[in-house]
Amino acid sequence: MKFKRGDELKQKLERFREQFKEHKMTPQRRVVLQALLENSESHLSAEEVYALAKEIDSEIGLATIYRTLDLLEELNIVHKLHFGDGRSRYELCHVSSEHHHHHLVCLNCNQILEVKEDLLHQLETVIEKEHGFHIIDHRVQFYGYCAQCDKTKSNT
């Protein structure tokens, strides 16, 4: 989604600025953040972020995208995701939820859906107790067939 009022974007960027600490807020970094904000529902690859960023600043380089995404990950502004398709994907951290949501990867249409439930907490508690493993974060992907594909599939 594009921002109806430029103000809204500026406000959000201002908020990131604080998280940047001593790191410089450059036009390129702003452009990457804007691209991510305008596609906060997607799981963009570096190449996709690059394409979006180029629409705003045609001079921007791919290396800058990678370096910026690395920085954003380090600053906990984005999460790097691995769906096993040979490229990393990135999504803005949703500050509201202290934890990730989960991903449902459709084996048929490759659509990636999201779930919010966090029953995983129970499992984490068991693991922390039984293995003494201190869990910081988790990545969960479910593979299967989405409602539509599952229907189509059973007809064949």
Partner DNA sequence: GTACATGCAAACCTTTTGCACAGGG
Partner DNA sequence: CCCTGTGCAAAAGGTTTGCATGTAC
Could you tell me the smallest distance in angstroms from the CB atom of residue 56 to DNA?
11
Q: Could you tell me the two tokens for 105?
A: 């990867």
Q: Which amino acid type is present at position 148?
A: Q
Among 26, 97, 108, 152, binds DNA (CB under 7 A): 26
Strand partners, 106: 144
Could you tell me the smallest distance in angstroms from the CB atom of residue 129 to a second copy?
11
Q: Which is nearer to DNA, 77 or 146 (CB)?
A: 77
Q: Which amino acid type is present at position 104?
A: L
User: Strands 44-45 and 88-92, how do they pair?
Assistant: antiparallel
The reply to whether 145 sits near a second copy by the rule CB under 8 A is yes
**Segment 85-124, which members bind a second copy (CB under 8 A)?**
88, 102, 104, 106-107, 113, 115, 117, 119-120, 122-124
Q: Which stretch binds DNA (CB under 7 A): 22-30, 93-101, 129-137, 142-150?
A: 22-30
Is 146 assigned a ligand-binding role in the annotation?
A: yes
Could you tell me the smallest distance in angstroms from the CB atom of residue 85 to DNA?
8
Backbone angles phi, psi at 18, to 5 degrees: -65, -40
What is the CB neighbour count within 10 angstroms for residue 49? Answer: 25
Is 138 assigned a ligand-binding role in the annotation?
A: yes
Cα–Cα distance for residue pair 113/16, rounded to 1 Å: 27
